Chains A and B, each alone.
Chain A
Amino acid sequence: MAPRLPKQGNVVVAGVGGQGVVLAGNIIADLCLGHGLDVKKAEVHGMSQRGGSVSAQVRFGPEVHNVVVEQGSLQYVLGFEWAEALRWMPLLAPDGIVFASSERILPPAAQRNRVGGDVSYPLEFLEHPGLRAVDAETLAKEAGNPKTAGVVLLGALSTELGFPVESWRDALLRWVPRKALDANLRAFELGRAWKQAAPPKDLRPQRTRSALFRLELEEAWCKGCGICVDVCPERIWRLDDLEVARAATPERCTGCRLCEKLCPDFAIDVVQVQEIDLLTRTGGGA
């Protein structure tokens, strides 16, 4: 049974630069406009497009004033990336629905803990009644084009946001590139038949113990060539005024031993001193 034609609503499309967020927002806005509704849409341009969070907010109804959605009134979130979808959940209306791709794009900033290797990645809201995980990435590949993941999600949204399915297809026709049309229409159908997928896996480290290291330098052997300074991924080594290597921030050592291996004078030793518990960051025995 077809859901009722929506009279007003607030939709947010969220993702990462380059995923087609703005285009998906245009398709939804176009659809509402075609049904005689007033529409306003806020977009993100400029700096955020360089790998940052990108969103489009679409508000529609008989008369729309504001372009941005107020907290507690967001009805639908279309998340092209898991964490980006969850970012909008605090704005959700009590009966709001989130279609979140289970795809996970780890930003460089989430991968800085080189010793522990753990990623803090949100797994909150899993019990939220409005959260629907969709494996859009796999379905898009099935449709023949991995870039159609956004349209898979539009298909899923179309099962809740009850505009006639022909109107959705017409809007797609107007907005997607002609040569990719078939794949997009297939992706839309696969999205309409969406099934609850598993949310992304917990990324907390499987191993809970790692080592702490001490850096030892045989000063008399160091001739100040600076190779260790150049190769250390954590930029721990510095040359002092006497052109002798010094470990400026030894606590950052991850034990990769690059300095030890590349020192032409065998002046550096990386010594494991103790293990630590990665979750509690407390030391254990040596």
Chain B
Amino acid sequence: MAVEISTQQLLLGNEAVALGALHAGVRVATGYPGTPSTEVIEYLAEVAPKDVQVHWATNEKVAWDEGIGASLAGARTLVTMKHVGLNVAMDAFMTSPLLGVNGGIVLLCADDPGMHSSQNEQDTRYLGKFAGVPMFEPSDSQEIYDFVRAAFEVSEAFDTPCLVRTTTRVSHSRSRVLVQAPVAVKERTFERNPAKYVMLPAYARLGRVRLLDRLPALERWSDSHPFTREEMRSTAVGVVTSSIAYQHVREVLKDASVLKLGITHPLPAQRIRDFAGKVDRLFVVEETDPYLEEAILALGIAVEGKQYFPRAGELTPESVRHGFIAAGVLAAKEGTAQVSLPAPVVRPPVLCPGCPHVTPFLVLRELEAYVTGDIGCYTLGASEPLRAMDTCLSMGSSIGMAVGMWKAGLKQHPIVAAIGDSTFVHAGLSALVDAVWNNADITVVILDNGTTAMTGGQPTPEFGSNVRGTETPRVDIAAVCRAIGADPVVVVDPYDVGATHRTLLAATRSHGVSVVITSRPCVQAPKKLVGRRYSVETETCVGCQLCMNTGCPALVWDLEAEPYENRRRVRIDQDQCTGCTVCSQICPQSAIVPSSQG
């Protein structure tokens, strides 16, 4: 698809990343899906010419390793991940600035303040500083586009990887973008240079010195760069800010002077000093941790910040306003009558109708197993009504935690690790080797839906094709588990309730590491799957509502039908039913039958 040049488009932040990289001449793009970063690779796969390598990696560390390899071989390279993904890549990321680059390499790392879809809330800016790389913090799609383009230039000019750090509100909002003509990039190829690229201690010491020498030059660069922007208005209040916090400040405190930071490592220290000297009161408004505040205090400049603005969760226009009211900068709004909230209808995310993860959790609940869970849609198995998960920590943690529980002597019930197929390949493989090596008495349930479902159905190594639909070899998870030495390794259809029950019961009773792979494609992604729909014979239903223990959203109370002994009978919402038959199999009255139409 051709890319329109010099037109205004309403782009999602993540699309702006993709387009910025493309127009900067990116030749290799990789990453691991994770909200809110996922759409970058997906959009690139859609718009990039075929000679640009766009592919998902099995995890973030592999993605970053691929990225550094591509960079050293001369390609401009983009790597994407979410904040917790960078933790996985951290080992390679920390050492990569010591090697430097050949083709420019940019890491897009998207934080999730407020944890819309994450297991923790961490501020990646500390990691950018920790690694000593130039760090950009855009505040809208236009800045994302401009900053990503600039980051490739800086990467090559200063011989270092660059980090572009976004947050959910920046990644997942649309705003206008004026795009520029693509640049022509000089052809580069790999040049052998072990002293620069082989991190033996002797060479690494030199790399460390190169890294430290680079920082003062980068600081002068950030001091003079137009991305560091001083907006002088009233000098009564000055605000140092970056990212989405800048937008909040501009909306809430229109008259204040602002030092808008586009580069937050190294910080433009001189510009901050100059700005502080021009205003009567200096504030920092930033989301999550006091990264800027601590750095400014360390410069010996008096500044106010987190005593007024929340550290946990996303900033909101209200919280920024309240902060400035508390600081005595804004007067409290008059006449805003507090509107009371309606009785909340809780609508938490739930497993979809027909989700193949339901049955294994029904069974595990019944076996009263200690279930160590993992990251994915199936983490929802912890909530009502399944309530069949006891822990969830990080990608791939389920298996190691199960081994740990077994080592601690937990015996009363079977110990089961529940992990998705994509997560298993991401970080579960070495843990399974560990479990076999330790001869642990655990069962690993691999909830295999053939895709990375939570982030929208990205292909996995067993999928048979890549993000662009090209055919790829399939990695056989069952064969991998057998090769590692798990025994038995059984594949079962989770739509067969009886078989799933028997298989899990047998596996949890066997000694050593057993693996049960529940295999069924995700009903939502990448394709919506619908079979013959089912309905409830109202006259047969006794309102026991056992079927509702599956948590299937298609099963609703029949509000029209006459109750049975004061209990609501059940109805199946035909628009939602996928025909998985699980409820029909467990109905004690056999009241759930194929619908007459459809």
Contact = CB atoms under 8 A, between A and B. Distances in A.
B549 interface: yes
Interface size class of B (residues with CB under 8 A): 35 or more
A4 interface: no
A41 interface: yes
B174 A41 contact: yes
Contacts of B341: 90
Residue picked from B35, B116, B347, B555, most chain A C-beta under 10 Å: B347
B349 interface: yes
B342 A33 contact: no
Interface residues of A, number: 72
Interface in A173-232: 203, 207, 209-211, 229-231
Interface in A135-175: 146
Contacts of B246: 65
Interface string B150-184: 00000000000000000001001111100000000
B548 A111 contact: yes
Nearest to B589: A258
Contact of B385 (A108, A122, A256): A108
B140 interface: yes
Interface string B556-592: 1101000101111000000100000000000010000
Interface in A91-110: 92, 106-110
B351 interface: yes
B333 to A, nearest CB: 8
A233 interface: yes
Interface string A225-243: 0000111010100000000
Nearest to A37: B176
Given A47-B35, A111-B548, A122-B342, A39 B10 contact: yes
A69 B173 CA distance: 13
A281 interface: no
Interface in A6-62: 16-17, 26, 29-30, 33, 38-53
B596 interface: no
A120 B343 contact: yes
A137 to B, nearest CB: 11
A255 B351 CA distance: 28
Contacts of A44: 116, 172
B556 A112 contact: no
A221 B339 CA distance: 60
Contact of A38 (B172, B176, B546): B176
A19 to B, nearest CB: 11
10 contacts: A41-B175, A44-B172, A49-B456, A51-B349, A68-B317, A71-B318, A109-B348, A111-B548, A233-B549, A254-B567
Given A47-B35, A120-B343, 15 more contacts: A39-B10, A45-B36, A50-B350, A50-B380, A51-B350, A52-B347, A65-B248, A67-B247, A86-B342, A107-B348, A108-B384, A124-B340, A230-B366, A256-B543, A256-B546
